[in-house]
Amino acid sequence: MNSLYDLGLDYEERHLAAIVKVTAEDVQKVATKYLDQDRAVLAIIGKKTD
């Protein structure tokens, strides 16, 4: 598939290397920018317990 999409034979290694560079701070910055806590929805899935 990498050749089909012209990604290069080393795409998987480059992709994984990019992923491991992402820090918790990076994720927090994106979450703060794009997610609005005042408009959030919480969904809890599982069996109902009394």
pLDDT digits (tens, 9 = 90+) for 11-47: 999 999 999 999 999 999 999 999 999 999 999 999 9
Do 38 and 45 contact (CB within 8 A), yes or no? no
Can you give the pLDDT at residue 48? 83
Token pair in block for residue 38: 């005042």
| Residue 50 lies inside a defined structural domain of this protein | yes
The Cα 2–Cα 38 span in angstroms is 41
- Specify if 15 maps to a domain: no
Residue 50 banded pLDDT, cuts 50, 70, 90: confident
> From CA 3, how far away is CA 22, in angstroms rounded?
26
Burial state string for 20-48 with b = 16 or more CB within 10 A and e = fewer than 16 = eeeeeeeeeeeeeeeeeeeeeeeeeeeee
35 belongs to a structural domain:
yes
- Which of the pair, 48 or 39, is modelled with greater confidence? 39
Domain range enclosing 46: 24-50
2 close to 12: Cβ distance less than 8 angstroms = yes
